[in-house]
Amino acid sequence: MANPGNKPKKPGKGTPPTVATAPNGQENTAKVGSGEMANLNFKADKEFVKEWKVYCVTNDVSQIDQFKKMFEFWKEHH
């Protein structure tokens, strides 16, 4: 029978990674620059989506530009 006190020592975990070397797949924690675009996803009912798209096309404005205008208006009035 083997003596439980004579177990070989396992190697340690080693030194922790530095901030500059993120593990693969974890690059999403970096902040987005001010000029870069990022996704903004949310759910809306189908009738609203249809009305939103028709409004933007009818008024020849991109959806993102209209959303920015709408948000600026909301911030000024609330």
44-62 burial, b at 16+ Cβ within 10 Å, e below that, comes to eeeeeeeeeeeebeeeeee
The domain limits of the chain are 42-78
Residue 69, C-beta contacts closer than 8 angstroms, at least 6 positions apart = 61
Whether the per-residue pLDDT at 15 is higher than 80: the answer is yes
Q: pTM for this one?
A: 0.54
Q: Model confidence over 26-53: pLDDT tens digits?
A: 666 666 667 788 888 999 999 999 999 9
